[in-house]
Amino acid sequence: MDNTPSSVNMQALGERIQQSSAFIEDIYSELNKVIVGQQYMIDRLLVGLLADGHVLLEGVPGLAKTLTVSSLAKVINTKFQRLQFTPDLLPADLIGTLIYNQKEAEFTVKKGPIFSNIILADEINRSPAKVQSALLEAMQELQVTIGETTYPLEEPFLVLATQNPVEQEGTYPLPEAQVDRFMMKIKIDYPSESEELEIMRRMAQTGEKQKLKPVVSTQKVLEAREVINQIYIDEKVEQYIIDLVFTTRKPSRYDLDDLTELINFGASPRASINLNLAARAHAFMQHRAYVTPEDVRTIAMDVLRHRIIPTFEAEAENITSEDIIEKIMSTVQVP
C-alpha cells in the first residue's frame, strides 16, 4: 500500500506548517536580546519542547545554561521553576507533601515546584537517588502521587536537567536506565572569541538587565506538536533511523566488526522513537512538511550519545560513545 501523501495534501500541509512555525523566528529574535551565541543549545531546547522530550545539558559552569532555559520560559509565557539539586534535597521538596491541619483535624496537600511547565533541574547529579527517581517518575508518567492521590501534571511539561562534567566528588551519577528517559543529551561548549567579547560587553555592567517579553503561548506550542505529528517521513528515512539504531546493537551486520568489542549496550527502542520525533521537530523548525535524512543526521548524536554504553576496552583506549556514533554515521548508507 502506498502511503505517500498526494502533492495537494503536501502543499496544504506545507502551508499549515509555514503558518504554525512562524513563531520560531520570534523566539530566536527575542532570545538573542539576552543570549549571545549558543545557537546549538537553543535549537535543541526547542526540539525538546516541540517533540515533547526532556533534555539533559552537560557543560562546565558559566555557559549560560540556566539563563537560556529561564529565558526560553519567559518568551513562551509559561510557568517556570528552577530547582537547585543538593545532597540534602528530599523527594517532598520536589513533588510536595501532606500537611496536617490541627484546626480541621485533616491532612491538606501542599504541591511542590514540580507542578510547573518548564523545570530546570540544576546539577541533577548532586541529589540522591530517591530525589532523582521522583523527578524521573514525573517525567515518564506525567503525574505525581502525594499520599494516596495521584495528580496529573500540566502540559507542556518539560524537564531540562543540567550536570557538570567536572567535580564528580560527592555526586550521584544518573543510572543508564534513568538517563535513557531523556530524549537528548547535549554538550555545551565554550563560546567563540567574538561571542565572548560580545558577552563581556553586554554583561560587564551593573544595573537593570534586558527584559524579555512573551512571544508565544503554551497553547501555540501544543498546537505545533499536533502539526508535527502530521509531518511526512518517508519509509527510506524510517529505515535509515532503524539502521543507525540497529548498528549500535549488532555492528557485525553492517560490516563494523571492530565495534563489537567496543559497545557494551546499544541504543534502546526509545532511541528510534525519539530520533523520529526529534527529526520531525527539526523539520518543523525549518518550516518543512517532510523529514530529510539530514534532519536525522543533525539530531542523531544528541539522541544517541547517552544511550550507547562503551566497554572497558573502549574506555581503556579513550574511545567514547561519540566516536562510536561518528563511525556508525560515516558507514551506514544515507538514503
Domain definitions of the chain by residue range: 36-216, 231-331
Rounded Cα distance between 193 and 190, Å, is 9
**Nearest by Cα to 284 from 219, 233, 218:** 233
As a whole number of angstroms, the distance between CA 49 and CA 63 comes to: 20
Residue 1 CA to residue 288 CA, distance in Å, equals: 25
Integer Cα distance of 268 and 249 in angstroms:
9
pTM (2 d.p.)? 0.87
156 upstream amide cis, omega within 30 of 0: yes
The dihedral sign for the CA sequence 68, 123, 166, 328: negative
The closest of 27, 28, 23 to 39, measured between CA atoms, is: 28
pLDDT in tens, the chain (335 residues): 445 666 668 788 888 888 888 888 888 888 888 887 778 888 999 999 999 899 999 887 777 788 888 888 888 888 888 888 888 888 888 888 888 777 777 777 888 888 988 999 888 888 888 888 888 888 888 888 887 888 898 888 889 888 877 655 556 677 777 788 899 999 888 878 888 888 787 777 666 667 788 888 888 888 899 999 999 999 999 999 999 999 998 888 888 888 888 888 888 889 999 999 999 999 999 989 899 999 999 999 999 998 888 889 888 888 888 898 899 899 888 88
Strands 106-111 and 149-152: unpaired
Rounded to the nearest angstrom, the gap between the alpha carbon of residue 223 and the centroid of all alpha carbons in its chain is 19
Neighbours of 80 (CB within 10 A): 19
Superfamily grouping for domain 231-331: Magnesium chelatase subunit I, C-Terminal domain (1.10.8.80)
- Helix H or strand E encompassing 145: strand 143-146
* pLDDT value of position 48: 92
Residue with cell 557494551: 264
Task: Give me the pLDDT at residue 241, please.
Answer: 94
Q: What pLDDT score does 291 carry?
A: 93
Question: In this structure, which long-range contacts are made by residues 287-291, counting pairs with CB atoms below 8 Å and at least 24 apart in sequence?
Answer: 287/17, 287/18, 287/21, 287/24, 288/14, 288/17, 288/231, 289/10, 289/13, 289/14, 289/17, 289/231, 289/232, 290/10, 290/231, 290/232, 290/233, 290/234, 291/231, 291/232, 291/233, 291/234, 291/237
- Is the Cβ–Cβ distance between 134 and 178 less than 8 Å? no
- Sole residue written with cell 547535549: 186
Tell me what pLDDT residue 208 has. 64
pLDDT the model gives residue 216: 87
Per-residue model confidence (pLDDT) at position 8: 64
Vertex 115, ends 150 and 34: CA angle to 5°?
160
State residue 212's pLDDT score.
Answer: 82
Q: Quick one: pLDDT at residue 1?
A: 41
Residue 36: its pLDDT value, please?
Answer: 79
Residue 179 main-chain phi, psi, to 5 deg: -60, -30
Q: Give the pLDDT score at 2.
A: 47
Whether the Cβ atoms of residue 285 and residue 21 lie closer than 8 Å to each other: yes
The CATH class of 36-216 is alpha beta
How far apart are the two ends of the chain, measured CA to CA in Å?
20
* C-alpha triplet 327, 333, 335: angle, nearest 5°: 140
- Dihedral sign for Cα atoms in the order 281, 77, 138, 127: positive
Q: What is the DSSP letter of 290?
A: B
